[in-house]
């Protein structure tokens, strides 16, 4: 058992692009669920729409990446309006179901064979991020110690990803501190009360949905840059539920919670994964158990993450950063 | 900020044929609403006198809360028109009606639980530029207005004896304090007309007196007040005009003293139905809220 390798793997994942992508996704979701009370079960759709909007512009239409990214983010605003306008007047359960269904339908559409000419269907789209990596100022090479290391290109995505995380978190912080944020939180507490005080509830919800959706879209853009391509398998509903796990772990309606929890989540997930992989190679382990750990390591690490979350919430119901009052998740 | 409070009208309650009042602030005609075949509200004509305190009484299920919901835009009527200060309200969303100066409270108090008491107040202030997305990010665009809003909020909290709770989350308030907060919060919107849905329900006698004191002061400041009430002592003590509803219709209206003498009212409300109400039929109306 080589613990330095495990720790290195865990650390690399915790600070890596995946954690930044998740942090963005969760910051957007936090604006929806944490501050506005929108039960958005389709956050991954915003991520997917932005990623595909970017990739299609480049790979299918031969356009510039720098046009593709704003186009993809613009699609997130469109998606927010299409999802929100018919459903935000209804009770929140309807919105939850609509978002969940819409995310799955969009994913199936994107990967269907008739769409292959545009989206690449089941094969996805590749080689889209050339002009992004052309800007990489970092000298070729590997940076770090042991398994805790990154290539120059990985480092470049990470830097851009974490800068976007910082910007998104600042944006949400400033918005929530303002009277606009106070209205949003009032709507979360009681829509009818907010309406009786003269607030246009649907209008504010749409704004929050669009902003949080665009932030989720940034996660999709970074994901597309990191993989230099898109594939529909990255955008299943489990991504949204992972985002909820991270959000609740960090503390609903907090600024730092989503970021710290995203780092911790990927650190633990990769750490446990790496540990189980090594464990399965130990000679003293019965073959049956070793094979199980080897095949189902991913599932086991997710199960362990679930147990860890339950234990955490038992001791800190508001999550890591939850204030006693605002943090408690109420869904 | 727009000055919405209307001038005080001393009379407010002189009886005219067909329920017409001198200088009505709110006029409704042909207001109807059915729930699966049952007429919840069927009001031919209703006028609310400016500057008066009008009580709406009636047995549970009489349609009082539904009438409130219709007038305040929380429910759409099947038919009917109504107007505030001559401005047509039908078809307007609830928040637009509130902005025109008619604010309502709810039968079950609706404090914004995880906001502080001060935030509960501040959010209700009208015309805040910092509530617009394009201005929210830059604090200097709304800092001055925010300060004024908070000063006004604290002044009102003081008046309602809640200033010591200003920075506490609203869900730490007691039931009675929540009623007070809801009343104070409604005032933050600078309304001309306030509709209270059972302001004294579940409130101890001492606090009831304090709430009524506040209502009287509001009237003295020129506000028009409409309230739903079950406690006849409260109705008699405070209202200038009483509207009696039963089965969705207006059964009678008049000054409180005349209403007590009215045989139909005694039958519909004070006598026969009064015992029923204590039996626990309160939920039927609460559920329509």
* Contact indicator for A43, A216 with CB cutoff of 8 Å: yes
Reading the block at residue B208, the tokens are: 């009831």
Q: Kindly list the residues from chain B whose CB atom is less than 8 angstroms away from the CB atom of residue A181.
A: 136
CA pair distance B163, B156, nearest whole angstrom: 8
CA pair distance A187, B113, nearest whole angstrom: 11
Tell me what the pLDDT averaged over chain B comes to. 85
pLDDT at B258: 87
Distances from the Cα of B260 to the Cα of A292, B66, B232, B241, B242, angstroms:
82, 24, 9, 12, 10
| pLDDT tens column, A27-44 | 999 999 999 999 999 999
What residues have CB less than 8 Å from B234, skipping those under 6 apart?
B200, B208, B212
pLDDT at B80: 94
What pLDDT band is residue B7 in, cutting at 50, 70 and 90?
very low
pLDDT at A320: 85
Residues forming beta bridges with residue B227, ordered by sequence position: B55, B196
Return the SS3 of B169.
Answer: strand
Of B118, B265, B260, B286, the closest CA to residue B202 belongs to B286
B97: left (phi over 0), alpha (psi -120 to 50) or beta: alpha
pLDDT at A324: 54
pLDDT at B124: 97
Q: Do A178 and B99 touch (CB under 8 A)?
A: no
For residue A326, is pLDDT > 90? no
CA pair distance B222, A291, nearest whole angstrom: 81
Return the SS3 of B222.
Answer: coil
In angstroms, the separation between the Cα of residue B277 and the nearest Cα of chain A is: 26
CA pair distance B111, A2, nearest whole angstrom: 56
What pLDDT band is residue B267 in, cutting at 50, 70 and 90?
low
Kindly state the percentage of chain A with pLDDT values over 90: 76
Secondary structure (H, E, C), B88-109: ECCCCCHHHHHHCCEEECCCCC
For residue A109, is pLDDT > 60? yes
pLDDT at B201: 85
Among all chains, which residue has been given the structure tokens 């200038």?
Answer: B240
| pLDDT tens column, B145-195 | 999 999 999 999 999 999 999 999 999 999 999 999 999 999 999 999 999
Among all chains, which residue has been given the structure tokens 């512009």?
Answer: A57
For residue B278, is pLDDT > 90? no
What pLDDT band is residue A325 in, cutting at 50, 70 and 90?
low
Q: Do A193 and B106 touch (CB under 8 A)?
A: yes
Strand duo B53-57 + B241-246: pairing: parallel
CA pair distance B4, B272, nearest whole angstrom: 42
Q: pTM of the full predicted structure?
A: 0.89
Mean pLDDT of all residues in B105-110: 92
Mean pLDDT of all residues in A85-101: 91
For residue B234, is pLDDT > 80? yes
Of A167-171, B176-180, B275-279, the range with the highest mean pLDDT is: A167-171
* Contact indicator for A9, A276 with CB cutoff of 8 Å: no
pLDDT at B270: 58
Beta-sheet strands, E only, within chain A: 125-126, 142-145, 148-151, 229-230
ipTM: 0.88
For residue A311, is pLDDT > 70? yes
For residue B289, is pLDDT > 90? no
Selected for mutation to probe chain B from A178, A183, A184, A188 (highest B CB count within 10 Å) is: A178
Of A1-15, A70-84, B192-206, the range with the highest mean pLDDT is: A70-84
* Contact indicator for B199, B227 with CB cutoff of 8 Å: yes
For residue B251, is pLDDT > 60? yes
Q: Do A196 and B114 touch (CB under 8 A)?
A: no
CA angle A76, A77, A79 (to 5 degrees): 60
Beta-sheet strands, E only, within chain B: 24-35, 38-49, 53-57, 79-84, 87-88, 102-104, 193-197, 224-228, 241-246, 249-254
Q: How many helices (H) and strands (E) does chain A have?
A: 14, 4
pLDDT at B25: 95
Kindly state the percentage of chain B with pLDDT values over 70: 84
Q: Do A185 and B105 touch (CB under 8 A)?
A: no
For residue B268, is pLDDT > 90? no
What pLDDT band is residue A70 in, cutting at 50, 70 and 90?
very high
For residue B13, is pLDDT > 80? no
What pLDDT band is residue B265 in, cutting at 50, 70 and 90?
low
pLDDT at B279: 36
pLDDT at A278: 85
CA pair distance A301, A311, nearest whole angstrom: 15
Return the SS3 of A58.
Answer: helix
Q: Kindly list the residues from chain B whose CB atom is less than 8 angstroms away from the CB atom of residue A186.
A: 112, 115, 119-120, 123
pLDDT at A26: 98
| pLDDT tens column, B30-87 | 999 999 888 999 999 999 999 999 999 988 889 999 999 999 999 999 999 999 999 9
DSSP letter, residue A251 = -
* Contact indicator for B208, B200 with CB cutoff of 8 Å: yes
Neighbours of A203 (CB within 10 A): 14
Mean pLDDT of all residues in A121-134: 93
3-state helix, strand, coil in chain A (%, to 5): 75, 5, 20
Reading the block at residue B49, the tokens are: 């006198």
For residue B228, is pLDDT > 50? yes
- Answer with the residue of higher pLDDT: B189 or A92: B189
CA pair distance A271, A283, nearest whole angstrom: 21
For residue A297, is pLDDT > 80? no
For residue A56, is pLDDT > 90? yes
Q: Which of residues 192-231 of A touch B (CB under 8 A)?
A: 192-201, 207
Neighbours of B255 (CB within 10 A): 14
Mean pLDDT of all residues in A135-140: 92
Gap between the terminal Cα atoms of chain A:
41
What pLDDT band is residue A76 in, cutting at 50, 70 and 90?
very high
pLDDT at B9: 38
pLDDT at B21: 74
Which of B95, B130, B133 is facing A195, going by the closest CB pair?
B95
Reading the block at residue B105, the tokens are: 């409270």
Which residues does B contribute to its contact with A (CB < 8 Å)?
Answer: 72, 74, 93-96, 98-99, 103-106, 110-115, 119-120, 122-124, 126, 128, 130-133, 136-137, 139, 142, 146, 169, 171, 185-186, 188-189
Distances from the Cα of A272 to the Cα of A239, B159, B267, angstroms:
19, 59, 75
Tell me what the pLDDT averaged over chain A comes to. 91
pLDDT at B72: 96
| pLDDT tens column, A255-264 | 999 999 999 9
pLDDT at A206: 97
pLDDT at A316: 85
| pLDDT tens column, A206-233 | 999 999 999 999 999 999 999 999 999 9
Kindly state the percentage of chain B with pLDDT values over 90: 66
Return the SS3 of A48.
Answer: helix
What dihedral angle (degrees, nearest 10) is formed by the CA atoms of A252, A256, A260, A262? 50
pLDDT at B263: 65
Reading the block at residue A251, the tokens are: 């503390």
CA pair distance B250, B67, nearest whole angstrom: 11
Among all chains, which residue has been given the structure tokens 């330095």?
Answer: A4
pLDDT at A220: 98
Q: Kindly list the residues from chain A whose CB atom is less than 8 angstroms away from the CB atom of residue B139.
A: 177-178
Reading the block at residue B75, the tokens are: 């429910």
């Amino acid at each position: 058992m080589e613990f330095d390798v495990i720790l290195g793997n865990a650390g690399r994942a915790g600070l890596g692009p995946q954690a930044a992508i998740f942090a963005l996704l969760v910051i957007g979701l936090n604006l929806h669920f944490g501050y506005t009370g929108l039960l958005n079960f389709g956050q991954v759709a915003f991520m997917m729409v932005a990623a595909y909007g970017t990739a299609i512009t480049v790979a299918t239409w031969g356009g510039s990446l720098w046009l593709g990214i704003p186009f993809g983010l613009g699609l997130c605003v469109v998606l927010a309006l299409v999802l929100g306008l018919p459903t935000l007047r209804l009770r929140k359960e309807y919105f939850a179901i609509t978002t969940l269904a819409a995310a799955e339908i969009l994913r199936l559409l994107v990967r269907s064979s008739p769409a292959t000419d545009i989206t690449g269907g089941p094969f996805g789209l590749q080689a889209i991020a050339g002009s992004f990596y052309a800007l990489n100022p970092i000298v070729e090479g590997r940076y770090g110690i042991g398994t805790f290391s990154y290539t120059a290109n990985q480092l470049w995505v990470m830097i851009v990803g974490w800068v976007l995380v910082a910007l998104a978190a600042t944006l949400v912080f400033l918005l929530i501190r303002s009277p606009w944020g106070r209205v949003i939180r009032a709507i979360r507490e009681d829509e009818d009360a907010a309406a009786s005080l003269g607030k246009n509830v649907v209008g504010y919800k749409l704004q929050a949905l669009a902003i949080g959706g665009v932030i989720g879209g940034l996660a999709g853009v970074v994901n597309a840059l990191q993989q230099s391509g898109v594939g529909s398998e990255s955008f299943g509903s489990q991504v949204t539920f992972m985002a909820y796990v991270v959000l609740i772990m960090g503390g609903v309606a907090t600024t730092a919670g989503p970021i710290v929890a995203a780092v911790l989540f990927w650190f633990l997930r990769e750490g446990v994964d790496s540990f189980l992989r090594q464990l399965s190679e130990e000679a003293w382990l019965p073959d049956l158990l070793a094979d199980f750990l080897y095949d189902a390591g991913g599932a086991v690490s997710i199960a362990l993450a679930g147990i860890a979350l339950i234990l955490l919430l038992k001791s800190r119901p508001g999550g890591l950063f939850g204030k006693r009052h605002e943090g408690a998740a109420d869904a | 900020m727009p000055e919405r409070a209307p001038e005080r009208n001393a009379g407010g309650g002189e009886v005219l044929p067909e329920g017409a009042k001198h200088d009505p602030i709110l006029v409704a005609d042909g207001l109807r609403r059915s729930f699966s075949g049952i007429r919840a509200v069927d009001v031919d004509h209703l006028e609310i006198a400016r500057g008066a305190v009008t009580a709406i009484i009636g047995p549970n299920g009489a349609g009082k809360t539904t009438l409130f919901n219709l007038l305040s835009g929380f429910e759409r009527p099947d038919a009917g028109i109504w107007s505030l200060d001559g401005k047509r309200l039908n078809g307007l969303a609830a928040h637009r009606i509130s902005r025109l100066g008619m604010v309502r409270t709810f039968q079950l108090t609706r404090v914004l639980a995880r906001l502080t008491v001060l935030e509960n107040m501040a959010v209700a202030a009208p015309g805040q530029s910092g509530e617009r997305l394009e201005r929210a990010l830059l604090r200097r665009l709304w800092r001055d207005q925010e300060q004024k809003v908070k000063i006004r909020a604290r002044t009102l909290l003081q008046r309602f004896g809640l200033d010591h709770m200003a920075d506490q989350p609203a869900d730490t308030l007691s039931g009675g304090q929540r009623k007070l907060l809801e009343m104070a919060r409604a005032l933050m919107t600078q309304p001309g007309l306030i509709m209270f849905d059972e302001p004294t329900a579940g409130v101890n006698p001492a606090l009831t007196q304090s709430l009524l004191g506040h209502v009287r002061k509001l009237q003295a400041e020129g506000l028009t007040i409409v309230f739903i009430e079950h406690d006849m002592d409260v109705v008699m003590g405070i209202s200038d005009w009483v509207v009696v509803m039963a089965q969705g219709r207006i059964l009678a209206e008049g000054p409180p003293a005349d209403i007590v003498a009215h045989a139909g009212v005694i039958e519909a409300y004070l006598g026969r139905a009064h015992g029923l109400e204590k039996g626990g039929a309160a939920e039927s109306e609460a559920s329509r809220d």
